[in-house]
Every structure is written in C-alpha cells, then in structure tokens.
Amino acid sequence: MSLLAVSNLSKRFGGLLAVDRMELRVEPGEIVGLIGPNGSGKSTTLSLIMGVARPDMGSIRFEEEEICGWPTHRIARRGIGLLFQHSHPLRRQSVLENIALALLPDSLCTMRLSAELERRARRLGERVGLGAVLAQRPDSLPFAHVRRMELAKAIAGDPRLLLLDEPFAGLTAAEARELSGVIRALRGEGRAVILVDHNVKGVRALVDRMVAIHVGRKIAEGSPDEVIADPQVREVFLGTGVLAESAQPTVPAPARGRAPLLEVKGLSVYYGKGRALDNVDLEVHEGEFVSVVGLNGAGKTTLFNALSGFLPYGGEIRWQGAPLNDAKPSAIARAGIIHCPETRELFGDMSVRENLDLAAYHTPASKAAERERWLLRLFPILARRERQAARTLSGGEQQMLAIARALMPHPKLLILDEPTLGLAPVVLEMLSEAMAALRRESGLTILLGEQNLTFALRHSQRLYLLENGRIAWHGEPGRFAEQAGARYL
Ligand SMILES: Nc1ncnc2c1ncn2[C@@H]1O[C@H](COP(=O)(O)OP(=O)(O)OP(=O)(O)O)[C@@H](O)[C@H]1O
Ligand SMILES: [Mg+2]
C-alpha cells in the first residue's frame, strides 16, 4: 500500500492548466524528489495535496483514505505537513512563539505559552538548529534561519508525509549538508518526504526516487541518475552546461587605472549594539563584475542596503568620485545604482507589466518600451504572464520579474542580492548569458551577493569574501579555492 497515491489530479488558473492529470505515488519512509522548470506546477501540486488550493478534478489518497477536497487543518491532523516556498512569519512574535503557534490545536486561542507547549516548541527549534536564536524575532534572522523556522512549523504536527518546497534555497553548502542530515533523520523515523529543489546535483544523494514534471505533467520518473540522464528533462530543466562546468561567458576585462565607479572606505553598520559591518573596504570599477560571497548572516544584504541608502552607516561611500553619504534611496537610484533585493519586494497585487512599467518611471517612453520588449524576450515566461498579479507567480517567475524590473531603468551599477534563489538551471544559464551580453553591449557593471559559489566564481572578475561583517579575503576567482576555499567550505 502506498502512503500517498495521487491520480488524475488537475488544477486550472484561468486559461492556464497548472497541474494536468498528475500521477504521483509515495511509499512510506521514502524521499521523493520533485523537479521541473519554473512554473511547471510543483508548488501547486503540493498545495493541492495539502488542501491549500482546491483541485478541479482527481483523487488524492493518503493511507488508503480519499482526502481530496478536505480542508487544510484536517489534512494536517491526518498526517501531512507542508513547508511553503515562501515564508510569512509573524513579525512581532519571537521564533519560539512562531513555532509554538504551529503546535496549538486548530481552535482560536490567545498567544500565551504553557510550560509544556514552550518545551515542545523549544525542542523543535533545537532540532532544526535554531536553539540559539529562539528569543529573536524572525526579521532579525538571516533568510536561511527563517526557512528553518518554517521547517520546524511543518514538522510540528508530527506528520508521516512531509512536503518540502525548496528547503535548500539560499542555504550555504554547509547549511545544506546539515539540513540534509535533518531530513535523513526524519526519514529514519519512518516519515516520507516529497522534496522540491532546483539543485539536482545537491539533492541527488538524498532522494530515493525522482519525478520530473513539465507544464503540469509528469515527464520522467526513476532513480536520480535515470531522471537526470533523460533527454527531455535535460532539455526543459537542466539545459546543456549545468552538470559539466561550462566556461565563463567571455567579457573583456574593464580598463583599470581610472577612479573606481564605486568606492567604499571603512564602512561600518550597527544594529543596536551589534556590529553588522566592520570597516569594510571595497571598490568596483566601471564594467566590472564583482562578487561579495559569504555565509548567510555574514553581512552581504546589510552592505547592499547601506549602499542603496536604506541604512545609516559610518565610513565613506563614493560614487563616480563624489561622496554619496546621506543621499536618499531615490537619489541613489536616479544616480544609477539599482538594487535587486533578496526579498524581491514586488508589488503583489500589480501585474507583471505594471511592476515593469513602474520601474521605467524615469525612462523616456520609447526607450522603456524597447527595454521591456528586450526583457520579455529574455524571460519569455514573463511575457506569457504579463497580466498576472505578481503575488500569484511561481517562486522562480517572481525572481525573474525582480531581476527584469531592476534592469528596466538601465542601471549603471546593478546590485544583485542572491539572484540564483529558486531559479531552474536552464533559467540560470539564460541569465548568465544575458548578463554577459549586457556587459558586452552596454558596459553594465555588476555587484553580486551570493552564497552560491559556483555561480559567483564563474562570473566574477574579482571577489570579496565577507566573514562576520569583515572582508576576510579579496582577489581573483582563480585564486579563491587555494587561498580562501578552506575558510568558506
Ligand atoms: N493563483 C494563480 N493565478 C494564476 N496563475 C497561477 C496562480 N498560481 C500559480 N499560477 C501559475 O501556475 C504555474 C505553476 O505555478 P507553481 O507555483 O506551481 O510553479 P512551480 O513549479 O512551483 O515553479 P517554481 O519552481 O518557479 O516555484 C505558474 O506559471 C504560475 O504563474
Ligand atoms: Mg514553486
């Protein structure tokens, strides 16, 4: 008997068949990897199983019982837990309280913790490695920790089937190894897992079986190696160069010797008494591709927020030779520094086109239209979703929109904070090529923040390694492994 048997499951959004007669089985104690391009229906499938979205047709049997159409809370009580792709923590509550809330029975009650509840919440928090930060608010945590908190919530109901939507997104290699350990331990307790992830190489060793989907339908199934070798999977999901280390897109090195475009000297940022950035020196020359790599919480996002004028800081930031201190975010953006934040910050109720149009506010209409056409050719899936509300886009589609929006106003310096998050390998390749083309054609300068080293090493001409708010190393990518690799990996 299968633990979960999904058959003929379908879901339509307007003219789009997001899940199309899906067939899926999960055996007890098994980890099934679910892979597919951005927008292929992975998150929708999980939502249907969890009762978050209502299927148009099909059957979902859990331990032989038909649960299709049940409300979510009943499905949760029956033994299924879901880690959502997007985190929406309660911002005024501590991590401990957020976890405790998931432990409450599904009736309305006040947020007062009994000793027993607190003990259980604490244990869950420790289990996912958050023991040291349970009293903090989610806003003060790096992204990866918020995801772990969501994992603690997903396992709070003691589920026999766990649905994990991109739990590894944004994690460093070491954090991912740790989380793999947690997931293996959950399997060891007899739980089954459906795992959605774009990094097939990374999860290959973790999953027992893999299922690939494309436009809502299953296209391949089998061992991870079989599925990765499948020609259709390679075409729609992996692209060509992913598993082989493909060469760096060639862009001539910029002319040095002139004053840097951006110059940061002795930059320090404090959050209350805690020092997030300590005496950071960094420069970016015109036409360069520079990366700031570092673990989650090292200070990358803080650095970018200071550059964009969102945070008070000590030290000096110079732009095209002139001091930028005290400039407002709007003035900084108009000066040509455009920041694509890790959190995307899209206007959820506005359509794809409206989000792009807003970003072109200061651009002449004819130029904006040309730019928009170019961007929609670059991300054809966005063209097909032009009138869709940003909030309803898939994770990867939202990321593409955030990047496209940042490119819209023709930045001189593009700051990209973790752009690889949630993108399928083929899209990453497209993005790589597009950035190389932009740099060749328009001399775009890029400052990238990444914990995904492979991507950063492949593209940058220079790298800075940020460690606990300090620059621990900087140099060329070719020397990174030898001089700084040990500190990072
Ligand atoms: N409420 C909605 N209204 C309209 N379209 C929607 C809605 N929800 C999802 N979609 C569309 O359905 C398709 C499938 O979305 P889904 O979130 O399941 O993709 P996914 O496989 O999880 O992709 P990703 O890897 O990017 O997260 C997407 O193209 C998305 O734009
Ligand atoms: Mg998704």
Q: Tell me the CA distances in angstroms from 405 to 216, 257, 411, one per residue in order.
A: 27, 32, 11
pLDDT at 186: 92
Residue 251 maps to a domain: no
| pLDDT at residue 314 is higher than 90 | yes
Which amino acid, 275? R
Task: Say if CB 152 and CB 130 are below 8 A apart.
Answer: yes
> How many Å is the maximal CA-CA distance in the chain?
71
Query: What pLDDT is stored for residue 253 in this prediction?
Result: 62
Question: If you take atom 28 of ligand 1, which residue's CA is the nearest one?
Answer: 39
277 plus 169 within the same structural domain: no
The 10s digit of each residue's pLDDT in 145-188 is: 888 899 999 999 899 999 999 998 878 778 888 889 999 999 99
Query: 275 and 212: one domain?
Result: no
Confidence category of residue 292, pLDDT binned at 50, 70, 90: very high
Whole-number Å distance, alpha carbon 40 to ligand 2 midpoint, is 8
Distance, CA of 63 to CA of 49 (rounded, Å): 13
The 3-state DSSP class for residue 336 equals coil
Same domain, 275 and 230: no
Distance 193 CA to ligand 1 centre (A): 21
Stretch 267-296: mean pLDDT, rounded? 91
| Nearest ligand for residue 34 CA | 1
- The response to whether residue 399 sits with its C-beta less than 6 Å from ligand 1 reads no
Q: Which of 30-34, 75-79, 199-203, 406-410 has the lowest mean pLDDT?
A: 199-203
Give the Å distance between the CA of 454 and the centre of ligand 2. Answer: 23
Identify the residue whose C-alpha is closest to ligand 1 atom 24. Answer: 38
Of 37, 150, 45, 24, which is closest to residue 98 (Cα–Cα)? 150
Token pair listed for 261 = 């475009």
Q: Are residues 228 and 284 in the same domain?
A: no
pLDDT of residue 245: 43
- What is the mean pLDDT of the segment spanning 42-71? 96
Same domain, 201 and 324: no
Q: What is the pLDDT of residues 209-249, one digit of tens each?
A: 999 999 999 999 999 999 989 999 988 888 765 433 444 54
- Give me the residues paired with residue 464 across strands: 292, 474
| Window from 80-89, 197-206, 319-328, 430-439 with minimum mean pLDDT | 430-439
Top-confidence range, 57-66, 394-403, 418-427: 57-66
Do residues 116 and 17 share a domain? yes
- Same structural domain, 280 and 317: yes
Query: How many CA within 13 A on the CB side of residue 263?
Result: 12
41 touches ligand 1 (CB under 6 Å): yes
Length in residues, the chain:
489
* Minimum CA distance residue for ligand 1 atom 5: 13
* Structural domain contains residue 380: no
Residues of the domain holding 325: 262-336+411-488
| Residue 274 within any structural domain of the chain | yes
Residue 489 pLDDT: 63
Please compute the mean of the pLDDT values over residues 268-295 and round it to a whole number.
91
pLDDT beyond 50 at 312: yes
Q: What is the CATH number of the domain that holds 134?
A: 3.40.50.300
Neighbouring-strand partners of residue 82: 163
Does residue 160 form part of some domain?
yes
Q: Tell me whether residue 193 is in a domain.
A: yes
Which residues crowd ion ligand 2, with CB under 5 Å? 43, 85, 394-395
pLDDT of residue 240: 63
* Average pLDDT of the residues in 336-355: 92
Average pLDDT over residues 321-347: 90
**What number of other Cβ atoms are within 10 A of residue 323's Cβ?**
11
Residues 378-418: tens digit of each pLDDT: 888 899 999 999 999 998 899 899 999 999 988 999 999 99
Same domain, 234 and 277: no
Regarding whether 208 and 134 lie in a shared domain, the answer is yes
* pLDDT higher than 90, residue 354: yes
Per-residue pLDDT averaged across 126-145, rounded? 87
Give the pLDDT band (50/70/90) at residue 282. very high
- Predicted pLDDT of residue 398: 92
CB 399 within 8 A of CB 436: no
Distance 47 CA to ligand 2 centre (A): 10
Task: Judge if pTM exceeds 0.95.
Answer: no
What residue ranges in 251-371 does DSSP mark as E strands?
262-271, 274-284, 289-293, 314-319, 322-323, 337-340
Atom 1 (ligand 1): residue with closest C-alpha? 392
- Mean pLDDT over 431-445 rounds to 82
Q: Are residues 270 and 225 in the same domain?
A: no
CA 46–ligand 2 middle distance (angstroms): 9
pLDDT at 110: 55
The backbone torsions φ and ψ at residue 107, rounded to the nearest 5 degrees and listed phi first, read -130, 165
> What percent of the chain has pLDDT above 70?
94
Distance from C-alpha of 195 to C-alpha of 185, rounded to nearest angstrom: 15
Domain count within the chain: 2
CA distances from 47 to 19, 84, 166 (A): 11, 9, 14
Is 351 part of a structural domain of the chain?
A: no
Q: What is the pLDDT at residue 364?
A: 84
**How high is the mean pLDDT of the chain?**
88
